[in-house]
Chain A
Amino acid sequence: MNHSTVLALGQAAQTENLAFWVLAVMSVAAALGMVLARRAVHCAVLLAVVMLSLAALYAELGAPFLAFVQIIVYTGAVLMLFLFVLMIVGVSSRDSLVETIRGQRLAAGLVGIGLLILLALIIGHAAIGPAAPPSAANSASNLPGIATLIFTTYVFPFEVTSALLITAALGAMVLAHRERTKPKPTQRELARLRVASGRPAPLPGPGVYALHDAVDMPALLPDGTPSNLSVSPVILQRELGADESRAGPPARAGELEAGTGENTEQPEGARW
């Protein structure tokens, strides 16, 4: 090994060090933000940051296969699923700040600190040696090595995994399925309902004018008053944090109880 390779190795180690510290700080900050963020969507985005930095850390640890699986399975599939469910359950769903059990946050913080101290003591006493010298495990043969292990030593757990996945898919279908409890309304009934609801016409469109090119602007009625019916309740609800003066969706939800026609939008989350 001549002088230049030693120098190059040193530089590579420095780059790895820098990458580790940047990724560690980023993932811990994003994880803390995830626990503290009040909106569920923000939590999901911060979780994506954590998972992507963990993928980079896997790559640094010599596990390129797991790095890509992390990105594809976690960031791609699992987080997409989370965001889909958030879309169904309500984008604006926030945590309530009311403590149901008194002193729960304080107790949880204490438990967290205790767990941290306990685990730190354990890994402090454990003999975590230095990284093994570069071997077949973390070189270019990483992928064939994992494939060999999965299809020889771990072939039975691997087969059991397929049963687990099929069961999970069936379970999800059964749980998410909804039985129709009453017959589907015919077009005649829907038309009757719409006329009976007092609003036979479709809802007004949003007021997208030259001054305000956005769907969150309510349309103006002939007498000049803004019509809240013209803005989607989801948008109204999302804007409530910024603009409390606007009429919220509850006024609208009550009005729409009667009709189940195509054009009446039910409150957020009611559609599947």
Chain B
Amino acid sequence: MVGPAYFVALAVILFVIGGVGVLTRRNAIVIFMCVELMLNAVNLAFVAFSRMHGNLDGQVIAFFVMVVAAAEVVVGLAILTAIFRARRSASVDDANLLKY
């Protein structure tokens, strides 16, 4: 029987993949997608722990994480379109007005 430990291990792997994506990619939208992947991995860990303890608090927290992630995506993508309108680029290297 596959226990919660396997699910947590899968969550760790997905989280690390998402983190590496955030560090390596240059397109801001793809970076956003990698952040979403990390959030999803954490959700999986929450649900696995909820299964392990046999109560529902973990699932409720995962639900709140989903709500916050949805709000975050809405604002983030609006910022991206605003930056794209000003800079004609979705690359994170081109939005450098606050540098130095």
A positions within 8 Å CB-CB of B: 13, 16-17, 20-21, 24, 27-28, 31-32, 34-35, 40, 43-44, 47, 50-51, 54, 57-58, 61-63, 65-66, 69-70, 73-74, 77-78, 81-82, 85-86, 88-90, 93-96, 100, 104-105, 107-109, 111-112, 115-116, 119-120, 123, 128-133, 135, 137-138, 142, 145-146, 149-150, 153-154, 157, 161, 164-165, 167-169, 171-173, 175-176, 178, 269, 272
Contacts and interface: CB of A to CB of B under 8 A. Distances in A.
Contacts of B3: 128-131
Contact of A132 (B7, B52, B90): B52
Nearest to B92: A100
A28 B17 contact: yes
Contacts of A69: 63, 66
B81 A138 contact: no
A12 B36 CA distance: 32
Chain B, interface residues (CB within 8 Å), range: 35 or more
A245 to B, nearest CB: 26
A62 B21 contact: no
Nearest to A23: B10
Contact of A81 (B43, B50, B73): B73
A13 B1 contact: yes
17 contacts: A27-B10, A32-B17, A35-B25, A40-B30, A43-B33, A58-B44, A89-B29, A89-B90, A105-B24, A119-B15, A128-B52, A132-B51, A137-B50, A150-B63, A168-B72, A172-B77, A175-B78
Contact of B54 (A119, A132, A161): A132
Given A31-B17, A47-B36, A62-B51, A145 B56 contact: yes
* Residue of B3, B63, B84, B85 most packed against chain A (CB within 10 A): B63
A155 to B, nearest CB: 11
A138 B91 contact: no
Given A77-B70, A108-B20, A96 B36 contact: no
A89 B14 contact: no
A269 B84 contact: yes
B81 A176 contact: yes
Contacts of A269: 84, 88
B52 A35 contact: no
Contacts of B1: 13, 16-17, 130-131
Interface string B44-67: 100110111111110110111011
Contacts of B36: 47, 74, 78
Q: Which 9 A-B pairs have the closest CB atoms?
A: A132-B54, A108-B23, A168-B71, A175-B78, A112-B20, A35-B21, A172-B78, A128-B5, A31-B17
